[in-house]
Structure 1
């Protein structure tokens, strides 16, 4: 049987260094506790680090799976030619367009004067023709201030072989009321157009008035306005109304649904969403340059910039952006990124941001370009020479030639820096709801 341990009697009170010894023992005790606390904190930090590493690994695996899933979906979309989003947009567009066609007596197809063929849709024209003889179509050549006067005249001559065509410059003023229209001769210096006023509104209204009289229509008429995104449909309506009746912007998709605007007691206008072209088919760069998709949603804007550089005058770009000479697209974007301060960490040029800035300039007209009409005119299959003559008489455009010439005199002639580019080609919109798919293609 073991003897019980004797209790430590402690330090005798008479010990001469008792207080000093107790202090040393207390300090040693505190150091031991601090060491244990530090060791415990280190263990906790190690556990957190391990959990963090595991979380990062799990997050990386999750992102990889999402990326692979997205890539597989994108491949499927490309194989099918049109995505589910495109199909929904196309169905919605067709519902809206059918309503416009049913309600309208006259349909205005708005074209961008810089590339009239590239913004012309055959399906719209074919649908109007198939709707019956009481439906009429007028082509409106908008943004004529962005191209030379001679080019406008050449396109008017070419397009009038198919349908009555009116040159137009929508007002660029931002106030909500009293958007002005230009009358008379421009007082600005020769070769420069500084006014934000509208051109062509009076001519278009007279054209509609001629149709009412010749067709013996004594009641009001409804005019539908259709076209690709950002060709200026809403701006034209605002210019005719002389107030901000419809939302406008350089971004496609501003108009989401039909908007009715009562112009006067005789004319009602209908603004419709832009014609939808499936993004899963055709040349993606072509869709971007038509401004049919939002620039900020484009994953890779570089191919579209490459297309711009192939078409534009490089000297003009150097002067316009104040950048040095470049040999390829990457160097051009790097110069522009440094010039505009679009940099990543470490001063690395952000080529994507620079590319999107170029596309914005292209779509908003800061980069000047225009196309020439084809040398030979071939009448589309859905149009007959007899119809062209009959419609021209109905609208009596010849009676307005003098006013049109005066209007065109106000266009700028100083377009040396503009690039003459090849047209994107006519849009043939071949989608139908019964097919459940389809897309836009160039011809």
Structure 2
């Protein structure tokens, strides 16, 4: 009630009403605490346990953590200063704009140019910050790989049987063989069910002359996460004899590793480091030996980002590692298969498909994917997208999704392709006859050969006619030390379509005028406008263009490939 001669009403209330309000507040807070207790939400922050004293390489881990923390703080401080400068400049501009009502046109143009330059500087700072973050991730992978090499007694390099020479890293092998601890090096030829039998036997003889080699086919249907689930599967589940669930090569590899473990001291375990390029099957091999899904696996490359120890037996321990970083100096098709550029958005999947198609015979690709004759990679991806049903709004083919599917077929365990075994021209520079003899010492080579022969007899191999022929570029150069990481430079990217209209290397047909070449697209008009300008040093970026091939197929029925005829 408002008292007379006063502007505001009194805030006094009766004691009963005040006590009733306090009681309601207490009941409300009690309900909130009870609900938080049920959901497990605690207001008290959990204390960081830190790194235990028993952890290996504790000092290195703490040093790396402190270094990353300093880098993040410096980056945060730099961004804070940049934002403060931007706000100050914005206030200054607003003040000048308010004070000056009418300004000359020259002054306005100058201010617009200044604003454009500031926006460009801001973009360059953001790009530089992204490069710093990316380089720190690559450095962390290099450190994890070096930890695996240091902690292991035996190094197992996993090779893809479809391109064994392309999966070898000379820098890694030289580092292992010249290590002071005299570590053993073994080869595992994985995914052997995706290559013809004759090609596999030739590659086995080629690799066996340099290092002990084991044939392996990992299981792809392990879904158990614990040992209890594995026991339940063994007791009441039906035995799966499908091609994906079957695993070959476990007995010979385990017997050899157990023999090496028995030769060590009674209390020490044999540590086996599994290394290799991304998506060659390192984690799948460990899961097959453990018979449960101990490591995370999938078609996507780069799932393993740090070292992981898995106990196989009482005397044997396997150490999983992240993939080896491929050096940027490698060819384009090697980077498309052995690096993580597509996953890290450094390279377009369309450009990776274009480089892969140049290394294959066009007729083999046509028969494998059941597509008609194509002039370039864009036509191939457009046809594949229509055939698979990858359509966007309005029935436009999704070439990006088709390119990703094509790359998954090549890097995953689905597509069958093989490489020709090269003629032997002596041992590599870091290998000698004495080193080869030392690597074979302590191993029962007769047992290894017998195990490989049993694996070859048990695996079902594809026919040579159904397997693609692929041209390998030799061993892949890798980066093991942080100092060897390339210094990335920030460059402006420009789009062009000139490279996409080139014929693939495998086609022998001359270029002819087709309805596709006569079609006018906005990108072609932009490229014609840019031809009048002086050329600049720009980075080529692959651009997808939606092309309708139905009109071309209707007009060129005479030139289309007839699949009813026999192809020799």
Counterpart residue number, 1:268: 317
Aligned match for 1:230, one of 264, 275, 279 = 279
Q: Distance in 1 between matches of 2:340 and 2:473?
A: 12
- In the TM superposition, residue 87 of structure 1 has moved relative to its aligned partner by 3.0
Query: After superposition, what is the alpha-carbon deviation per residue over 1:298-354, rounded to whole angstroms, capped at 9, x for unaligned?
Result: 653233222332333544433443433323222211211222233344433232232
Partner residue, 1:406: 454
Distance 1:123 1:349, change over 3 A: same
Q: Is the Cα contact below 8 Å between 2:283 and 2:297 reproduced in 1?
A: yes
Instruction: Give secondary structure in 2 for the equivalent of 1:297.
Output: coil
Q: Select 1:336's aligned residue among 384, 390, 406.
A: 384
1:66 is displaced (CA, Å) by 6.5
Greater relative CO, 1 or 2 (CA 8 Å, sep 6+):
1
> Who is 2:50 aligned against?
none
User: Deviation of residue 133 (structure 1)?
Assistant: 4.9
Which residue of 2 is the match for residue 317 of structure 1?
Answer: 365
Which of 114, 118, 132 matches 2:180?
132
- Larger CA deviation: 356-365 vs 106-115: 356-365
Contact 1:252 1:292 survives alignment (8 Å):
yes
- Using the alignment, how far apart are the partners of 1:407 and 1:178 within structure 2? 24
> How much does 1:381 deviate?
1.5
Return the alpha-carbon distance in structure 1 between the equivalents of residues 360 and 305 of structure 2. 33
Matched, 1:175 2:175: no
Q: Give yes or no for contact 2:342–2:348 (8 Å, CA) kept in 1.
A: no
The 3-state SS of whatever aligns with 1:366 is: coil
**Deviation for aligned residue 1:384:** 1.6
Task: Give TM-score, length-normalised by structure 1.
Answer: 0.72
Could you list the runs of 5+ residues in structure 2 that have no partner in the other structure? 1-111, 235-239, 489-568
Q: 2:245 aligns with which of 190, 196, 201?
A: 196
CA RMSD of aligned residues (A): 3.4
- List per-residue Cα deviations over 1:372-399 (Å, max 9, x = no partner): 2211243112122111112213212223
Aligned match for 1:149, one of 190, 197, 205? 197
- Give 2:471's aligned residue: 422
Cα distance, 1:252 vs. partner? 1.4
CA distance in 2, matches of 1:119, 1:438: 25
**What are the Cα deviations for residues 102-130 of structure 1, in whole angstroms up to 9, with x where unaligned?**
22111111111111111111222122122
Q: Which residue of 1 aligns with 2:167?
A: 119
| Structure 2 counterpart of 1:207 | 256
CA contact (8 A) 1:342 1:354 kept: yes
- Please give the alpha-carbon distance, in whole angstroms, between the structure 2 residues aligned to 1:272 and 1:413: 29
- Distance, in Å, in 2 between the alignment partners of 1:65 and 1:319 is 51
User: Of the candidates 414, 434, 439, which is equivalent to residue 366 of structure 1?
Assistant: 414
Structure with bigger gyration radius: 1
Deviations 1:13-72 (A, max 9, x none): xxxxxxxxxxxxxxxxxxxxxxxxxxxxxxxxxxxxxxxxxxxxx9xx98x956994699
Change (3 A) 1:427 1:342: same
Cα distance in 2 for partners of 1:327, 1:390 equals 52
SS class of match (1:270): strand
Q: Where does the alignment leave 5 or more consecutive residues of structure 1 unmatched?
A: 1-57, 78-82, 182-186
Distance in 1 of aligned mates of 2:344 and 2:404 = 7
The residue number in structure 1 matching 2:355 is 307
* Partners of 1:84 and 1:137 in 2: CA distance: 34
TM superposition shift of 1:267: 0.2
2-structure distance, mates of 1:395, 1:66: 62
Paired residues in the alignment total: 362
Q: Which residue of the other structure, out of 93, 96, 103, is the alignment partner of 2:144?
A: 96
Distance 2:460 2:265 in 1: 38
Please state if 1:107 is matched with 2:155. Answer: yes
CA contact (8 A) 1:369 1:419 kept: yes
What is the deviation of 1:366?
3.2
